[in-house]
């Protein structure tokens, strides 16, 4: 019998012997003033507007076989409350894209609005640092398949509030602590790489995926038999790591796939034509 790998929501079964790990390609649409923009290293003063209408961009992605979208409310991230929920509502209502939404989701009302506006998943970063009890409550209420941990790294430490503030939390330990509380999906962004088209933080991602993790809720056993703590690595446990920042060429995606990333967020490389939809056919 041929072994199978099941990789990610909505992915097909493929033969493990084929040597191919299905990795989700997730384009990013960042929103400021209702427009599709990209920043460099999270600097709001280094902004490029790529399209006045994010819905138009989302429809183009979908027309080319893309299934997922990472939608970021940069106004919300800066102001600490959701601002561009109507953009989410339009995209979710007029495309079939699986949208994960982040930026400014800080309260129970914020997350309610985001899900009611059509998001399939919500990414929380600053809230996991500043109000851990609320974020943990969301994991319990909505489920681990709906909540993504945003781990934004600056010099190995967690940054918050649209990357405008730094914390004293080390990124690896931050992810491990939230894994203990049930988190499975993690978007990890190296801020120094973001928007720079300079390659991805492969060593950081390898380190994350090699960490011995304590099983989180619902994963304490396999086939009824308990795993000893630390027996398996993050990647083996199925920690769904989504790499973000620095993707410049198709080879970057091959490397991320080889190391076992669940997905890769691609931004400026799409908008600048560094990666084409034709090149992505094997991924989508």
Mind telling me the catalytic residues?
A: 30, 152
Task: Decide the pairing of beta strands 43-51 and 68-73.
Answer: unpaired
**Angle CA(108)–CA(112)–CA(115) in degrees, nearest 5?**
140
Q: Residue 2 burial (CB < 10 Å; 0-12/13-18/19+)?
A: exposed
Backbone angles phi, psi at 50, to 5 degrees: -100, -25
Q: Are 188 and 204 in contact (CB under 8 A)?
A: yes
Cα distance from N-terminal residue to C-terminal residue, the chain: 26
CA neighbor of 186 nearest in space, from 222, 214, 151: 151
3-state secondary structure 115-140: HHCCCCEEEECHHHHHCHHHHHHHHH
β partners of residue 153: 158, 190
């Amino acid at each position: 019998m041929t072994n199978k790998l099941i990789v990610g929501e909505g992915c097909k079964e493929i033969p493990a012997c084929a040597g191919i790990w299905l990795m989700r390609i997730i384009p990013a649409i960042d929103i400021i003033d209702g427009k599709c923009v990209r920043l460099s290293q999270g600097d709001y003063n280094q902004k490029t507007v790529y399209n006045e209408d994010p819905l138009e961009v989302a429809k183009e992605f979908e027309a080319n076989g893309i299934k997922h979208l990472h939608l970021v409310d940069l106004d919300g991230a800066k102001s600490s409350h959701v601002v561009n929920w109507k953009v989410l509502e339009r995209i979710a209502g007029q495309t079939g894209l699986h949208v994960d939404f982040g930026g400014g989701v800080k309260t129970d009302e914020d997350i309610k609005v985001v899900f009611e506006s059509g998001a399939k998943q919500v990414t929380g970063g600053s809230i996991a640092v500043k109000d851990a009890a609320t974020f943990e409550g969301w994991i319990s209420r909505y489920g681990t398949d709906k909540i993504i941990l945003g781990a934004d790294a600056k010099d190995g430490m967690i940054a918050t509030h649209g990357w405008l503030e730094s914390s004293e939390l080390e990124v690896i330990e931050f992810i491990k602590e939230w894994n203990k509380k049930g988190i499975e999906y993690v978007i990890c962004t190296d801020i120094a790489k973001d928007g720079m088209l300079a390659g991805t933080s492969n060593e950081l991602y390898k380190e994350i995926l090699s960490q011995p993790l304590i099983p989180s809720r619902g994963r304490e056993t396999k086939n009824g038999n308990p795993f000893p703590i630390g027996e398996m690595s993050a990647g083996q446990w199925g920690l769904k790591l989504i790499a973000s920042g620095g993707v410049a060429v198709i080879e970057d995606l091959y490397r991320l796939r080889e190391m076992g990333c669940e997905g890769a967020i691609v931004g400026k490389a799409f908008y600048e034509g560094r990666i084409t939809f034709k090149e992505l056919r094997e991924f989508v």
